[in-house]
Amino acid sequence: MNLVIDAGNTSVKTAVFQNNSLLEKQNFQKENFSEEFQKILKKYPQINKSIISSVTSGENEMISEVKKAFPVLELNNSTPVPFENRYASPETLGKDRIALVAAAVNSFPGKNALIIDAGTCITYDIKTAEEIYLGGAISPGLNMRFKSLHKFTANLPLVIPKPEAELIGNTTQTSILSGIINGIKMELKGTVESYSAQFEDLTVIFTGGDSQILSIPLKNSIFANSNFLLEGLNFILEFNNTQ
């Protein structure tokens, strides 16, 4: 039984897996980790290994606590992964992107797949049918665009995102909605079309917190569940367990 830990700047996501089956997941503040970890140990004494992915390097206390209970795989850019990584600067590749590509390899083996993660940033990652990761793109996310218009101008208001926007805005608020919502959707559509022209039978995977807001009808598109990244981390842990 596996414990997957995804540590962000202020919060921690945990998931318990039995092989590939997700049994339970939680999301809590970092300062509550020790208390919540003990609860997990009590509920699932069968856990015998763990993987930790962190956006920061200062998680020594957390890692040490988990290591007292069972072996821990600390995900980094030298961790063996179930795909060939051809990113030119692998030391700068985000751990979330590594996990998402691993999830695509696990869920869509032998297929060209484009993973679009609509979160703080919008990331695009392509893996081939031969399980080769080539790279992708990073673009400002939905809320980042709304906040930047408000922060870097004197008079533009902070607008709340909505799933739909008219093409022609007739107020400042609706004009911002049109520019950002329609702009991202056109970016998504154009990017997918460009990748589809280069990669045959491309499977497009949408994930991330804003994936539903930014949904657009596309051929071969699949909306991944919210556990996609956690599933990728679990797959990396299982892959390393067989090495």
pLDDT digits (tens, 9 = 90+) for 27-45: 999 899 999 999 999 999 9
pLDDT interval class at 119 (50, 70, 90): confident
Cβ neighbors of 170 (< 8 A, separation 6 or more) are none
d(C-alpha 50, C-alpha 3), whole Å: 5
* 6 annotated as a binding-site residue: yes
* 56 annotated as a binding-site residue: no
* 95 annotated as a binding-site residue: yes
Q: Supply the CATH classification number for the domain 77-243.
A: 3.30.420.40
Amino acid at 192: V
pLDDT digits (tens, 9 = 90+) for 70-85: 999 999 999 999 999 9
Cβ neighbors of 215 (< 8 A, separation 6 or more) are 163, 206, 223
Instruction: Reply yes or no on whether 96 is catalytic.
Output: yes
Residue ranges covered by each domain of the chain: 1-74, 77-243
pLDDT digits (tens, 9 = 90+) for 223-241: 767 789 999 999 999 999 8
- Dihedral sign for Cα 111, 112, 118, 120, please: positive
- The domain covering 1-74 belongs, at the CATH homologous superfamily level, to ATPase, nucleotide binding domain (3.30.420.40)
Structure-token match 């049994």, residue found: 23
* 86 annotated as a binding-site residue: no
How far apart, in Å, are the Cα atoms of 80 and each of 41, 54, 98, 198? 27, 17, 11, 28
Out of 96, 125, 201, 210, the active site residue is: 96
Predicted TM-score of the model (pTM): 0.91
